[in-house]
Amino acid sequence: MAIPTLEELLALRGAAHGLSLQGRKRARVALIGAHASAQRGRGLEFQEVRPYTPGDDPRTIDWRVTARRGRPHTKLFHEERERPVWLLVDLQPGCFFGTRRQLKSALIVRAAALLAWIAALGGDRVGAVIANGAAPARILPARARLHGVLPLLEALLAAQPRAPGRPEPQSLHAALRAAAQLIRPGSQILALSDFGALGAEDDGPWLPVVRHNDIRLYWVTDPLEEQGLPPGRYRAGLPGRLAVLDGQRARPAWRALWQERERNVTRLSHRLAAPVVRLDTSVSVESALRPALLAGSSAA
């Protein structure tokens, strides 16, 4: 299975046309940009402080400046023209797995690239936190247009695993901790992972990240994970640590693990009020994302 190339990720710009990251809920005040805001805050940026005049909203009084200057002053805001869109990308070694047209890690890279193009073409700033196992998370600050997308594409290609490896269950948590220091209220967060290490009570690290932000979960799966092995005997495992599996005997335990993962992803979705888009390695990234992201669609 071929891993993504820079040329392929650049070509996804064409597939991004006609797609939108528009939020599930429209804000009361629309942005001046090309889309309505999905953020839960004011949708405003601080502009300046000036003396208070009759008719100003008392809630905007800057009490520190008022106390310092001895007369009331009020804060002025202007509407944000660009919303930060942050990609939280989990490329830990366990994602180097796939039994159909592509590896899970390759699908994550392609989906992240397509989402980045959609955000940039929609006028948003694009940033990313990329987890790739035991290494520190790679952070790319949110930047506008090509300045945000091109470095991200290169970082995705550099971070993708190149060979099977032991899964790193703490990889995504490390990225979440890094993201919590960067992402400000009013952002949109797109998390891409196979959520293979997600536990029943693992919502804690997510809470500081999703507070006052719009988040969506992109769950990457492979058909074999859900269906289990067909009858027969198979060699499976990592190089040097291979075991022989009986497909029929392993199926009950295999299915139980899959059902537990489904429950954990569903539970996380409910706790975060975050919709889940499932991406399967048997389907191209364009086909998987298009139904959820067609411009004007309220689905996510």
| pLDDT attached to residue 225 | 87
Count of CB atoms within 10 A of residue 95's CB? Answer: 29
Q: With a threshold of 0.85, does the pTM exceed it?
A: no
Q: Are 61 and 74 in contact (CB under 8 A)?
A: yes
Domains of the chain: 6-23+83-293 (3.40.50.410), 50-79 (no CATH)
| The pairing of beta strand 214-221 with beta strand 188-193 | parallel
Task: Find the angle CA(57)-CA(58)-CA(63) to the nearest 5 degrees.
Answer: 130
| The pairing of beta strand 73-79 with beta strand 84-90 | unpaired
Classify 185 as helix, strand or coil: coil
| pLDDT attached to residue 44 | 58
Q: Are 128 and 120 in contact (CB under 8 A)?
A: no
Q: Are 217 and 276 in contact (CB under 8 A)?
A: yes
Instruction: Return the exposure string of 204-234: e unless at least 16 CB atoms fall within 10 Å of the residue's CB, then b.
Output: ebbeebbeebbbbbbbbbbebbeebbeeeee
- Whole-angstrom Cα distance, residue 106 to residue 286? 13
- 295 class by beta-carbon count within 10 Å (0-12 exposed, 13-18 middle, 19+ buried): middle
Q: Is the dihedral of CA 210, 214, 220, 226 positive or negative?
A: positive
Give me 56's structure tokens.
């100003």
Query: Where does residue 195 fall: left (phi above 0), alpha (psi -120 to 50 degrees), or beta otherwise?
Result: left
| pLDDT attached to residue 41 | 38
- Whole-angstrom Cα distance, residue 59 to residue 86? 30
Spans in the chain with pLDDT lower than 50: 23-42, 79, 296, 298-300
- Per the DSSP assignment, residues forming a β-bridge with 87 are 128, 190
Find, among 10, 200, 184, 7, the residue nearest to 113 by Cα: 10
Q: Are 288 and 111 in contact (CB under 8 A)?
A: yes
59 Cβ neighbours under 8 A, 6+ residues apart: none
Q: C-alpha dihedral over 49, 53, 56, 59, to 10 degrees?
A: 60
Helices (H), 207-278: 207-210, 223-227, 247-272
Count of CB atoms within 10 A of residue 122's CB? Answer: 20
- How far CA 165 is from CA of 16, 105, 181, 225, 284, in Å, comes to 32, 12, 29, 17, 24
| pLDDT attached to residue 4 | 94
